[in-house]
Amino acid sequence: MSGWNPTRRNRNIGTAKQGRGADNRLVIPKAWPDDRVFWEFLNRPIVVRRTIGENEVTFLVEATSRGCVYPCSIDDIAGVLEHVPSKHLDGLELVILRQPTKKQSIVSSVWGRFLYYAAPGLHSGTAICIEAQDLSEKMVWGKSLTPFDQKELDRLRADGHEIRSDRRSHEIVRTADSIRNTVLFRTMLHELGHYVDWLESVLWPCRKIDDPAEDERISQAFNSKPSKDKEDFAHKYADELSNDLRNRGLIPFPPVILHDLMRAEGIDPEWFAHGGTRAH
């Protein structure tokens, strides 16, 4: 692919210029000299590799803290990706399981992220990032919801979260099972949908041409695409793929916690929501 440089990122992605954190008073401090974003900094992650179809994917796993757990295991994630069209994993290099700091959880709490390019230490490339969750922390939304927020609340209810509503707020009661449903069977496919959008809009077209100027035009056109359009694509992709996998009986499936394998790889099963409750 001529002319395309994966390190030349759209620095607005996930930042205040796109509106992220605009209504938060807290600010995540930037204490590093380069242009990386806070989610690219991992604390001594364990490196695990899985072959998924024709692709090798590297998993980077941070130890959890503060009572947090990852909603799903490495082999849960691999089990879902096994059923994704192989071409949609083309070039996907990393899956990152990261432990956010307390301030990051308050200011920028997410289930997961798609990273067009991440450089966490010795590893770099396109990544899907899943964040650890603290089930003891209340998840409360205001009563006034946008149409987008209302759809998401309905999705969370369908995932198995209990929604307790009063005159002022909606409290989302999370459990190990409900966060696994949200992250493994929906968020993962949604973030992959962002990657497929990028594949179809930028990476695959750029492989067919040998003109740096045209590469730049294609990349800029994608960067200028409204965020709503990108989210709509990812939601549609996730919904269609999820419905297909469900109709074929491929999802949902029980938690896959391979205790002996995990310990041999340096992974503590207790880092995962079902790690202490189910053996395989």
Q: Are residues 151 and 203 in the same domain?
A: no
The reply to whether 154 and 223 lie within a common domain is no
Q: For residues 148 and 234, state if they share a domain.
A: no
What does the pLDDT read at residue 173? 94
Domain assignment present for 195: yes
Task: State yes or no: pLDDT of 3 exceeds 80.
Answer: no
Query: How much is the pLDDT for 110?
Result: 86
pLDDT at 6: 57
Residue 196 has pLDDT above 60, yes or no: yes
Residue 7 lies in a domain: no
Q: For residue 104, which amino acid is it?
A: Q
Dist. CA 171–CA 230, nearest whole Å: 28
- Four-point Cα dihedral 72, 238, 18, 28, nearest 10: 0
Higher pLDDT, 12 or 50: 50
Q: Pick the residue with more confidence: 120 or 70?
A: 70
- Residue 1 in any domain: the answer is no
Q: Do both 27 and 121 map to the same domain?
A: yes
Residue 221 lies in a domain: yes
How many domains would you assign to the chain?
Answer: 2
Strands 169-173 and 46-52: unpaired
Peptide bond into 255 cis (omega under 30): no
pLDDT score of 244 more than 90: yes
The pair of three-digit structure tokens given for residue 150, joined into one six-digit string? 């209302």
Say whether both 87 and 97 belong to one domain: yes
Question: Is 10 inside any structural domain?
Answer: no
Residue 92 · residue 122 · CB < 8 Å: no
For the record, the structure tokens of 56 come out as 């090798």
Least confident range from 16-25, 118-127, 226-235: namely 16-25
* Mean pLDDT for all residues in the chain: 87
Residues 162 and 148: their CA atoms lie apart, in Å, by 19
Do 145 and 166 have their domain in common? Answer: yes
Strands 162-165, 169-173: pairing is antiparallel
Assign 280 a pLDDT band (cuts: 50, 70, 90).
very low
What does the pLDDT read at residue 34?
Answer: 60
45 backbone φψ class: left, alpha, beta (φ>0; ψ -120 to 50): beta
User: By three-state DSSP, how is residue 193 classified?
Assistant: helix
Query: Taking a C-beta distance cutoff of 8 angstroms, is the pair 53, 113 a contact?
Result: no
pLDDT digits (tens, 9 = 90+) for 38-84: 667 888 999 999 999 889 999 999 999 989 999 999 999 999 999 99
Q: What is the pLDDT of residue 5?
A: 61
Of 151, 173, 195, the residue that ends a domain is 173
Considering the domain boundaries, does residue 74 fall inside one?
yes
Q: Quick one: average pLDDT of 22-34?
A: 51
Structure confidence by residue, pLDDT tens digits, 164-194: 999 899 999 999 999 999 999 999 999 999 9
Sequential DSSP letters for 43-69? SSPEEEEEEETTEEEEEEEPPP-TT-B
User: Do 168 and 32 lie in a common domain?
Assistant: no
What does the pLDDT read at residue 24?
Answer: 45
Confidence of residue 22 (pLDDT cuts 50, 70, 90): very low
Strand-pair category, 112-118 with 94-98 = unpaired
Q: For residue 167, give its domain range.
A: 136-173
Does 47 or 16 have the greater pLDDT score? 47
> Considering the domain boundaries, does residue 40 fall inside one?
yes
Are 30 and 161 within one domain? no
Strand partners, 165: 170
Whole-angstrom distance between the N-terminal and C-terminal Cα of the chain?
43
Confidence of residue 21 (pLDDT cuts 50, 70, 90): very low
In 3-state terms the chain splits into helix, strand, coil percentages (rounded to 5) of 40, 20, 40
- 226 and 251 both lie in a single domain: yes
* 130 shares its domain with 228: yes
Q: Given 173, 197, 231, which residue is the final one in a domain?
A: 173
Closest by alpha carbon to 92, among 41, 48, 56, 51? 56
Percentage with pLDDT > 90 across the chain: 69
Does residue 279 form part of some domain? no
Identify the residue with better confidence: 122 or 258.
258
> pLDDT at residue 4 above 80?
no
Radius of gyration of the chain (CA): 19
Q: Which of 155, 173, 191 is the last residue of a domain?
A: 173
Is 35 a residue whose pLDDT tops 80?
no
Q: Are residues 93 and 212 in the same domain?
A: yes
**Same structural domain for residues 158 and 178?**
no
- Distance, in Å, from the CA atom of 280 to the CA atom of 272, rounded to the nearest integer, reads 14
CA atoms within 13 A on the CB side of 182: 28
pLDDT at 19 over 90: no
What is the pTM assigned to this prediction?
0.84
pLDDT band at 120 (very low <50, low <70, confident <90, very high): confident
